[in-house]
Amino acid sequence: MQRRSLLAALPAALLPAMAQAQTAFPDHAVTITVPFSAGGPTDVIARLVAEGMSKDLGQPVVVENVTGAGGTIAAGRVATARPDGHSLLIHHVGHASSATLYRNLPYNVETSFAPLGLVSDAAMTLIARPDFPATDLASFMAEIRQQGDKLNLAHSGLGGANHLCGMVLQHAAQASLTGVVFRGSAPAITDLMAGRIDVFCDQATNTAPFIRDDRVKAYAVTLPQRVPGLNLPTTTEAGQPTLVMSTWHGLYAPRDTPPAVQERLARAIRAALKEERLRQRFAELVTATVDDDRATPAYHRRFLGEEVARWRPIIQAAGQFAD
């Protein structure tokens, strides 16, 4: 009788340990899905963050590139993935703008994901062909208003960061320029230097070498604070406080990921952002790491909502939609 009681009690005694084993996170590799091609700024940022997170989580964190439709294919895949914390998405400002830019998304940008935390901020730069007549941002904006669609504005496709920056520029100037689509930033900058394109607004990551060598004409950075290594005023300093934009990146899990897993991932993100190698490489990319208080689910969720609301009237006023 006593033996039967001991045997009956044994499973109950083991239950907490068994439950802990079943819910241990992570218990295999974590995948970060990147919605853009390998080698681009988002991909580089993802791989640096993945390396730091892997050290903190004690499991491999691998990067998978799933391109197409302005990042919405990758986002849709993660939105419907198993919500156990092993499938993540990294995306930039285009995730917020896609809520308006794409009118028939199979997911909801704000409610289909669990934001885990921001990781980076990169300034955009306003640049023009070398012989562009404007000498400062005020005269640059005046030239845009005066010339309008006689000027060509480069971008690399609807929903890309430089396309969004171009919309902010036109919205601030109350002017419409003629868009010219390129297969990425590099060919756009090549044509800008050659004088075949008039204006471009792109990440400092891509434009800094050409600005420093005076191969393009640069007017301002679009963050409220100056960018180290670039002798350029901010748009706010130069009298254009509405012409502000950053290419921020954040990480997301599927919506129903358990809160404890979300917080564990957020801690791993914050640990990764403190890695010296990551900080050095971010600096080389002219990209800033975010502070701990921005690398949290609560801040990221609130910020995403603000960004979705901010982009809606800009995109609607431009009348440019991707579907």
- DSSP sequence for 62-112: EEEE---GGGHHHHHHHHTS-SSSSEEEEEETHHHHHHHH-TT-SS-TTTS
Which of 175, 173, 161, 169 has the alpha carbon at shortest distance from 204?
Answer: 161
pLDDT at 18: 36
pLDDT average, residue stretch 2-27: 51
CB under 8 A, 24+ apart: contacts of 37-45: 37/65, 37/67, 38/65, 41/122, 41/203, 41/205, 41/206, 41/247, 41/285, 41/287, 42/90, 42/91, 42/92, 42/249, 44/281, 44/285, 45/90, 45/119, 45/120, 45/249, 45/282, 45/285, 45/287
- For residue 146, pLDDT over 50 is answered with yes
Determine the topology of domain 25-122+247-318 in CATH. Answer: D-Maltodextrin-Binding Protein; domain 2 (3.40.190)
The pLDDT mean for the chain works out to: 92
Number of DSSP helices (H) and strands (E) in the chain, helices first: 11, 11
- For residue 203, pLDDT over 60 is answered with yes
pLDDT at 10: 44
Q: In whole angstroms, give the CA distance from residue 134 to residue 199.
A: 11
- For residue 273, pLDDT over 80 is answered with yes
Q: Please tell me whether the peptide bond between 26 and the residue prior to it is cis, using omega within 30 degrees of 0.
A: yes
Neighbour order of strands in the sheet with 199-203: 178-181, 152-155, 199-203, 124-128, 217-221
- For residue 175, pLDDT over 60 is answered with yes
Cβ atoms of residues 22 and 258 within 8 Å: no
Q: Label residue 64 by pLDDT band (50, 70, 90).
A: very high
For tokens 């050095």, what's the residue?
A: 280
- For residue 8, pLDDT over 90 is answered with no
Tell me whether strands 199-203 and 124-128 are parallel, antiparallel or unpaired.
Answer: antiparallel
- For residue 12, pLDDT over 60 is answered with no
Structure pTM? 0.89
Residue type, 158: L
Q: pLDDT tens-digit profile of 229-239?
A: 899 999 999 99
Q: Which tokens go with 320?
A: 């440019």
CATH architecture type of domain 124-221: 3-Layer(aba) Sandwich (3.40)
pLDDT at 61: 98
Q: In whole angstroms, give the CA distance from residue 201 to residue 246.
A: 11
Q: In whole angstroms, give the CA distance from residue 65 to residue 45.
A: 13
Cβ contacts of residue 95 below 8 Å, gap of 6+?
71, 75, 109, 250, 252, 304
- For residue 226, pLDDT over 70 is answered with yes
pLDDT at 122: 93
pLDDT at 24: 87
DSSP secondary structure letter of residue 31: E
Question: If you write DSSP's letter for every residue of 187-202 in order, what string do you get?
Answer: HHHHHHHTTS--EEEE
Q: pLDDT tens-digit profile of 73-132?
A: 999 999 999 999 999 999 999 999 999 999 999 999 999 999 999 999 999 999 999 999
For residue 162, what are the CA distances in angstroms to 57, 272, 287? 34, 27, 16
pLDDT at 155: 96
pLDDT at 6: 41
Give the SS3 label for residue 232: coil
Q: Label residue 23 by pLDDT band (50, 70, 90).
A: low
pLDDT average, residue stretch 173-190: 95
Domain boundaries, the chain: 25-122+247-318, 124-221
Region of 140 on the Ramachandran plot (φ > 0 left; ψ -120 to 50 alpha; else beta)? alpha
Q: Label residue 250 by pLDDT band (50, 70, 90).
A: very high
For tokens 């700024």, what's the residue?
A: 41
Same fold, 25-122+247-318 and 124-221: yes
pLDDT at 158: 86
Measured in degrees and rounded to the nearest 5, phi and psi for residue 177 equal -100, 165
- For residue 316, pLDDT over 50 is answered with yes
